[in-house]
Structure formats: C-alpha cells, structure tokens
Amino acid sequence: MKLLNYFGCVLALVLSIGCGEKEATPANDAFAKAETATPSEGIVDQFADIKILRYDIPGFEDLSLKEQKLVYYMTQAGLAGRDIMWAQNYRHNLTIRNAFEQIYTTYKGDKNTENWKQFEIYLKRLWFSNGIHHHYSNDKMKPGFGEGYLKELLEATNTTLDGEAFAVLFNDKDSKKVNLSKDADIVLESAINFYGPEVTTQEVEDYYNAIAVDEQRPIEKGLNTRLIKKDGALVEQVYKSGGLYGAAIDRIIFWLEKAKTVAENPQQEKVLELLIEYYNTGSLETWDAYCIAWVNATEGNIDWINGFIEVYNDPKGYKGSYETIVQIKDFDMSQKMAVLSQEAQWFEDNSPLMQEHKKPEVKGVSYKTVIVAGEAGDASPSTPIGVNLPNNTWIRQEHGSKSVSLGNIINAYNNAGGSGRLKEFAHDAEEIELEMEYGKQADKLHTALHEVVGHASGQINKGVGTPKETLKSYKSTIEEGRADLFGLYYLMDPKLQEIGLVEDWEKTGKAAYDGYIRNGLVSQLIRLNLGDDVEEAHMRNRQWVSAWAYERGLEDNVIEKVTRDGKTYYNINDYQKLRTIFGELLRETQRITSEGDYEAAKNLVEDYGVKVDQDLHAEVLERNSSFKSAAYSGFVNPEITPTVQGDSIAGFSVIQPKDFESQMLRYSQNYGHLKQ
C-alpha cells in the first residue's frame, strides 16, 4: 500500500505503497504549503498542473562499493521495466509515445508557434502520467492543438500514427483510465489495459470467483496477468519471461542476476533468487514466497520494492501495476520511529474497535525512514511518500510488514513549499499558526500511524472473504479511510508525548485535525474540474471521513461552517468530541471490513465521498485561481553513473539531470524494451 503525495508539495502526508496509493498525505493539505515557493535548484520545470522537482541521495557516498553496486543494479532493474507501466496504463500508450518522441527529436519547423508550445506541454504531460490519462484524475488529457497540426508534424517528420491510436487523442473514447462510477460497467468502461477491450465486469467476477484458492493463505489471483478474450473464451496473459512483456522482464532479470552477486547477506540473496524465479515463471505461489522472504529480510543497508504491486489502477482490484523503489536506510530517523512499531500492540488493544475485530497479536510491523535512490513504473515521476508492504493480508498477519517513509522525497517536497494557499483556506490566525509550527510533525506522524498501526490493525471475521471480494470497487477507499481514521484517533492522544514522539500532543493533534478537515471538505477540490465527481480512492476517503464527521457533529456544533466575506471555512470547535467521532467512524469502517458489508461500504462512500457541492467547488476554484504553483509534483531521478576501469566498476557518480525532457528521452532510448 502506498501513501501518495496528493498535493504538489507534500510535507506530510503519507499514504503509499502497501496500501497503495500514490498520492498523498493522510493528514494535511500539503499543496497549501506550496504556493509561495520561488524557483530554485530543486525545481526543474513547471507545465500544465505539474511541477518537476529534484531529490538528492544523501549517504550514497558513505556506502561501500559493493553496496553502491547493489543500488545501481537494482535501479537499472527497475528502469528496465519502465515500458510495462506505459503498456498497462493504456493499450496505445507506447505507440503514441514513440510517435511523439520522434516528432520532438526530428522536427525542423517553426518551434515558436503556440501549437508547438502546446505539443511540448502535451508530451511532457504524457511522460509524467506514463500515458494519455491524467496520473491522478484518470481523465484522458486533451491536446491543446488540433488534428490538422498533428498531421502536419507527422508528415514533416516522416512519423506514422494512425487508426485508433491517432483518433483517441481527439475523440471521446476511452475517456477514463479507471471508471469507478456506480452506474458504469467499471471494467468495460475503464481504459486501463489490464483487460481486453470487450471484457465486462461480470465476466471478470465470474472468472476469478471460479478459481479456487486456499482460504487461509490465498494467492493474489490475477495480480500479474492481463485477462482477454480469445476465440470467445477468457484467457490470462501472464507477465513473465517468454510471456506478456517478456522482452522487458528479461532485462529486469538480467539486472537482478547482477544484483544477486553483490547481495549484502545470504537472506538478501535468497530474496533476489525468489524474485528472479517469479519473473521467470509468473508463479503467484513464488510471489508469496518472495514476499515472505522479503518482509523477513531486515539486515543490510539496501532494500527495494519491485514487482506488480498496487491494485489501485484496476477497477476490480486484482491487477498489480509495475513499480520499483530502491532504498537506502536512514538510520537516524528510523531509530527515532522504531518506538511506534514497538507500541503497535498497545494501539490495537486501546483502539475503539469492537473486541472481536481487534487483532490479538500485531505481527512484526517495522517502520523506517529511507533514502530513495531510484524509482520507476508506477512510482515515477509521480511518487508515493510512504509505503507499507506486502499487500497480501495473510502474509501481513502471519509474517508482518515493512512500512517505510521516503525521507528525501518528503524533504524535497518541503523545500519547495510555501504558505500562500494555507493562508487562503485556513479559518483564522490560530489555525495558520498551529499548521506552521506543528503541521509538518503532524503530517509525518499521521503517515506513520496510518502505515504502521492503521493498515496493520483489525482482522476479518472467519469465513468472510477478502475486502477485494466483499467490498469490491469500494475496497481501496474504505481501507485508506480506515487507516486514516486509526491515525486520526491517536493523533489526539497523550500517549504520543509519553513515548517521546511529540513535545505537545494537543497542539500537534489540533494541527492534524485542522489540516485534515480543511483538506477533506475544501482545499482538495482544486484538483477537480467544476462539475466532476470525486473518483480517486484517497480523495474519496478524505471527503467521506470529513463529511461524515461534520454531519455527525452538527448537533453539538463540533465543526462549524463559517462564511466570511463570501468565503467558506470550516472551524473545529471541539477537538475531543471530534476525536470521539473519528473513533465511531473507525469502529464502523472496521466492522464493514471485518464483516464484508458491501451495502454499508457503498452507502458510506456514495453518500459522503463522491458528490461535490457545486457552489462551494466554484468558490474554491475562484479562490485558488490567484495561485500559480502547480497542484501536483513529481521528480526526475538522480542518475547513478558507473566509473569503469578495465572490465570493472571502480566507483559511481550521482548526476542530477539538467531537465525533464532529456531524462525522459534517454529513458525511452535506453529502456524502451517493448515495441508497438
């Protein structure tokens, strides 16, 4: 599951990897901190609604040469599969990318026209989103130039792009990468390339319901396949060497074999052997064995996330997106946060969950701050800021999980920050002061609580299927909301100060609650076009948590809606009562999960998390129009370059790319292993 950076500059949020999502922060409207940023060496580019940043790799130079080789080989393995994410996102993405890159690198005509500028912006948006659909909203991105101009460019550069791949850029087909509308056939009407274009939701459900698995230790069926129709029958195309995406997977295996030769210890070497076997065979039993070995491999300075992992891009929650993150331990910060992992059982025992839904023994939750050395696939250019894996529930229960906070990524977001939007959307000076002084710490703690104790908490009733099976399309948003609520409940607990995580638990908790409600009810609306429903799972959960809490507290005026000078604010009048409300909702979302109550999940999300007050939305967009900072941020990767003496690597240098486009073009040239 992952913690995504939902707002351009995150500082604090955190919800990403094992949990899956890639954007933001459970707790705060980090984008509100980004507005007053001025151009710096950390900001590479800005276009459309995107800002491109840099991140450093502190501590890389302190690693041994053997460790540096391991980092290098694992980053190369990750990049080798880059094309897979493009292909997974949409069936024509690679064809479109190849044509646009050929135009970009060979066009000799006038590059000062508005049409060319719009072509460049569109290509950068393609690179950022790994395809033609927006990385966050899932809407198809429309070019700012017309069909005629693209035809001129194609002819001028002797480039071919025709048929459906050309037409889809300008028509209304495949308009949503992931369509979760309750009125849609969510498989048939989603453009994501996990299923053939004619496959329906009912067919997917029937197909996977017919596959018998061990009820106690089920594999993640369908995780690494594309389900298509062949001669009228459903067939799975397996991602493996010799199978679907085999050319890229063979290059992944090539680099993993090199990494195995410089493993830090036998356990790490065994983990790599299992990962190689998985890519060779596509066996989900091997994937489970890998995940178990990986979660128990805790020695060494280097770790990674690699595979088909998060299922957020699948409307049915089966198919994993290709994702890699290579990590170096940050020993200082990890030591400070270890105390939270040690107290995981206390948090579970003292939570407001029903007794029968509490986990008797919270297994091996580890939480570390790490330094990212490289990312690819679903983690790049848009990256999570935290991750909790593995995702398979029974493995987490029996063997534990790893939770990591991506420290240098969070720092890079923070360094690009400001306070303009905060001042616009916060209710009063006290709220602003609390956010400025305690907001960063509150966000970091919410991320940690969300990942370490939130996702690790609770248990499903015996005989009840997995949330993917019982809650269906509402599984992701219910799980993210449940983890958010667990963190929110404890952010106003003196226990945090008792165990040394905060200096003032009450002020930290107030900053966290202010930020969450402000974001969930108001400020995250800047990410939507007027008239749109909320569709992204994390945005939905922040809205349904906030809206339910607001409605629940109306009688006691716990959260007050304030209109001042034509502007809407939400002010928390009673933080302790709000904590009680969060506890009630946490109890209910755990009940929904434990009992597999689909109707309750549907009602909660549809009633509180989907629809938007259009008058408020128009107001928020107008208030936000004066800010020029992009709503979303992502990164170029530092380039780890070997120094070769004879036939051996003698050392490495870390070079920051000069711009976004040169790295994207170099990636396509060096790692373009899939042809369309």
* Mode of pairing for the β-strands spanning 648-655 and 639-645: antiparallel
Please report, for residues 84, 93, 247, the alpha-carbon distance to residue 675 in angstroms, rounded to integers and kept in the order given.
11, 11, 9
Cα dihedral across residues 407, 411, 417, 423: positive or negative: positive
Give the pLDDT confidence score for residue 165 in this predicted structure.
98
Categorize the per-residue pLDDT at 408 as very low, low, confident or very high, splitting at 50, 70 and 90: very high
644 assigned to some structural domain: no
- Alpha-carbon distance 62 to 73, whole Å? 17
The pLDDT of 27-36, averaged and rounded, is 34
- Alpha-carbon distance 557 to 576, whole Å? 12
Categorize the per-residue pLDDT at 330 as very low, low, confident or very high, splitting at 50, 70 and 90: confident
Q: How many CA atoms lie within 13 A of 443 on its CB side?
A: 36
- Alpha-carbon distance 325 to 633, whole Å? 17
Q: Which residues contact 426 (CB under 8 A, 6 or more apart)?
A: 32, 432, 435, 514, 518, 569
CB environment 98-110: b (16+ within 10 A), e (fewer): bbbbbbbeebeee
615 assigned to some structural domain: yes
| Helix (H) / strand (E) containing 327 | strand 322-329
| Helix (H) / strand (E) containing 614 | helix 614-624
Give the pLDDT confidence score for residue 418 in this predicted structure.
60
Which range (41-55, 121-135, 632-646) has the least confidence?
41-55
Helix 598-605 vs helix 575-595: crossing angle, to nearest 10: 140
The pLDDT of 338-344, averaged and rounded, is 87
Higher pLDDT, 194 or 410: 194
* Mode of pairing for the β-strands spanning 567-572 and 632-635: unpaired
175 assigned to some structural domain: no
Which range (42-46, 117-121, 346-350) has the least confidence?
42-46
Give the pLDDT confidence score for residue 676 in this predicted structure.
66
Please state the three-class secondary structure of 41-60 as a single string: CCEEEEECCEEEECCCCCCH
Categorize the per-residue pLDDT at 444 as very low, low, confident or very high, splitting at 50, 70 and 90: confident
| Contact present, 530 and 7 (Cβ < 8 Å) | no
Which range (554-563, 634-643, 667-676) has the least confidence?
667-676
Residue 562, SS3? Answer: strand
Closest to 499 (Cα-Cα) out of 341, 333, 267: 341
Categorize the per-residue pLDDT at 340 as very low, low, confident or very high, splitting at 50, 70 and 90: confident
228 assigned to some structural domain: no
Residues 247-304: pLDDT tens digits?
999 999 999 999 999 999 999 999 999 999 999 999 999 999 999 999 999 999 999 9
Residues 489-539: pLDDT tens digits?
999 999 999 999 999 999 999 999 999 999 999 999 998 989 999 988 899
220 assigned to some structural domain: no
Which range (21-25, 192-196, 581-585, 626-630) has the least confidence?
21-25
* Mean pLDDT score across all residues of the chain: 91
pLDDT at 11 over 70: no
The pLDDT of 477-493, averaged and rounded, is 97
Higher pLDDT, 326 or 1: 326
Query: From its phi and psi, is residue 157 left (phi > 0), alpha (psi between -120 and 50) or beta?
Result: alpha
Give the pLDDT confidence score for residue 339 in this predicted structure.
85
Tokens for 241?
Answer: 């060497």
pLDDT at 28 over 90: no
pLDDT at 169 over 50: yes
| Contact present, 177 and 190 (Cβ < 8 Å) | yes
pLDDT at 2 over 90: no
Please report, for residues 270, 329, 370, 373, 476, the alpha-carbon distance to residue 407 in angstroms, rounded to integers and kept in the order given.
27, 10, 6, 11, 25
Query: From its phi and psi, is residue 366 left (phi > 0), alpha (psi between -120 and 50) or beta?
Result: beta
Helix 475-491 vs helix 598-605: crossing angle, to nearest 10: 70
Please report, for residues 89, 139, 582, the alpha-carbon distance to residue 185 in angstroms, rounded to integers and kept in the order given.
18, 16, 33
The pLDDT of 19-43, averaged and rounded, is 40
* Mode of pairing for the β-strands spanning 16-17 and 384-389: unpaired
DSSP of 633-667: EEEPPPEEEEEEETTEEEEEEEE--S-HHHHHHHH
Higher pLDDT, 53 or 336: 53
| Contact present, 559 and 576 (Cβ < 8 Å) | no
- Alpha-carbon distance 378 to 12, whole Å? 20
Categorize the per-residue pLDDT at 404 as very low, low, confident or very high, splitting at 50, 70 and 90: confident
Q: Using the structure block, give the residue that is written with the tokens 């089966």.
A: 318
Give the pLDDT confidence score for residue 17 in this predicted structure.
29
| Contact present, 437 and 431 (Cβ < 8 Å) | no
57 assigned to some structural domain: yes
CB environment 642-667: b (16+ within 10 A), e (fewer): eeeeeeebeebeeeebeebbebbbeb
pLDDT at 3 over 70: no
495 assigned to some structural domain: yes
Residue 489, SS3? Answer: helix
Burial class of residue 214 in the structure, from the number of CB atoms within 10 Å of its CB (0-12 exposed, 13-18 middle, 19+ buried)? exposed
Categorize the per-residue pLDDT at 452 as very low, low, confident or very high, splitting at 50, 70 and 90: confident
Closest to 177 (Cα-Cα) out of 536, 533, 602, 539: 536
| Contact present, 411 and 29 (Cβ < 8 Å) | no
Q: Where are the beta strands (DSSP E) in 409-497?
A: none
Q: Which residues contact 551 (CB under 8 A, 6 or more apart)?
A: 608
DSSP state of 137: T
Structural domain containing residue 538: 2-62+301-633
Categorize the per-residue pLDDT at 479 as very low, low, confident or very high, splitting at 50, 70 and 90: very high
Number of domains in the chain: 1
Residues 607-650: pLDDT tens digits?
999 999 999 999 999 999 988 778 889 999 999 999 999 999 99
Please report, for residues 13, 194, 324, the alpha-carbon distance to residue 522 in angstroms, rounded to integers and kept in the order given.
17, 34, 33
Total count of residues recorded for the chain: 676
Integer-rounded Cα radius of gyration of the chain: 24
pLDDT at 18 over 80: no
340 assigned to some structural domain: yes
Residues paired with 384 in a beta bridge: 4
